[in-house]
Amino acid sequence: MIASAVKRVLGGGDGRSPAEVDGDIREEFAFHLAMLERDLREEGLAPGAARAESERRFGDIPALHRRCRAEALKERIMLQKVTIGLLVLISVGLLWGLILTTQRARAAREMAEAMRAQSQAAREHAVEAERKARESETAARAAAEKPGQVYLEGIVGRPGTFSFAPGLTLRRLMASAGGTSAQIRRITVTNSDGKGGQTVRFTLSGEDYLKAADGPDVELKANDLIRVE
Amino acid sequence: MPRPTRQPDLIQGTLDAMVLRTLGRAPNHGYGIARAIEAASDGRLTIEEGSLYPALHRLERRGDLSSEWRMTELNRRAKYYALTPRGRKRLVAEIEEWADVSRAVSRVLGLSPAGVAAAGGGG
pLDDT for the residue numbered A5: 53
pLDDT for the residue numbered A104: 94
Residues of A whose CB is below 8 A from B33: none
C-alpha to C-alpha distance for A228 and A184, rounded to whole angstroms: 7
pLDDT for the residue numbered A93: 94
pLDDT for the residue numbered A63: 95
Band of pLDDT at residue B5, cut at 50, 70 and 90: very low
Cβ–Cβ below 8 Å for A68 and B57:
yes
Cα A102 to chain centroid distance, Å, stands at: 16
Band of pLDDT at residue B3, cut at 50, 70 and 90: very low
ipTM of the complex: 0.79
A192 three-class SS? strand
Cβ–Cβ below 8 Å for B61 and A27:
no
Cβ–Cβ below 8 Å for A57 and B31:
no
Q: Cβ of A216 under 8 Å from any chain B Cβ?
A: no
> Tens digit of pLDDT for each residue in B58-86?
999 999 999 999 998 778 899 999 999 99
Render B32-100 in DSSP notation, one character per residue: HHHHHHHHHTTTS----GGGHHHHHHHHHHHTSEEEEEEE-TTS-EEEEEEE-HHHHHHHHHHHHHHHH
Name the residue among B31, B48, B78 with its Cβ closest to that of A36. B31
C-alpha to C-alpha distance for A83 and A116, rounded to whole angstroms: 48
Buried b or exposed e, range B84-101, using 16+ CB within 10 angstroms: beebeebbeebeeebeee
Torsion sign, CA atoms A79, A85, A91, A93: negative
Name the residue among B29, B53, B79 with its Cβ closest to that of A64. B53
Residues of B whose CB is below 8 A from A67: 53-54, 57
Cβ–Cβ below 8 Å for A68 and B30:
no
> Tens digit of pLDDT for each residue in B40-54?
888 887 778 899 999
Band of pLDDT at residue B12, cut at 50, 70 and 90: low
Higher pLDDT, A70 or B6: A70
Query: Exposed (0-12), middle (13-18) or buried (19+): which is B43, by Cβ within 10 Å?
Result: exposed
Report the candidate in A23, A21, A25, A29 with the shortest Cα–Cα distance to residue A59. A29
User: Quick check: B89 pLDDT over 90?
Assistant: yes
Q: Cβ of A26 under 8 Å from any chain B Cβ?
A: no
Query: Exposed (0-12), middle (13-18) or buried (19+): which is B35, by Cβ within 10 Å?
Result: middle
Chain A residue closest in CA terms to B72: A31
H or E element in which residue A149 lies: strand A149-154
Q: How many C-beta atoms lie closer than 10 Å to residue A56's C-beta?
A: 10
pLDDT tens series, chain A, 229 aa? 555 555 555 544 567 888 999 999 999 999 999 999 999 999 999 999 999 999 999 999 999 999 999 988 888 888 888 999 999 999 999 999 999 999 999 999 999 999 999 999 999 999 999 999 999 888 887 766 666 888 899 888 888 998 888 888 888 888 888 887 778 888 898 987 666 678 888 888 888 887 766 667 888 888 888 998 8
pLDDT for the residue numbered B123: 39
User: Quick check: B112 pLDDT over 80?
Assistant: no
Name the residue among A13, A58, A67 with its Cβ closest to that of B49. A58
Chain B residue closest in CA terms to A61: B50
C-alpha to C-alpha distance for B11 and B105, rounded to whole angstroms: 15
Amino acid at residue number B91: L
Report the candidate in A227, A89, A87, A76 with the shortest Cα–Cα distance to residue A159. A227
Q: Whole-prediction pTM value? A: 0.54
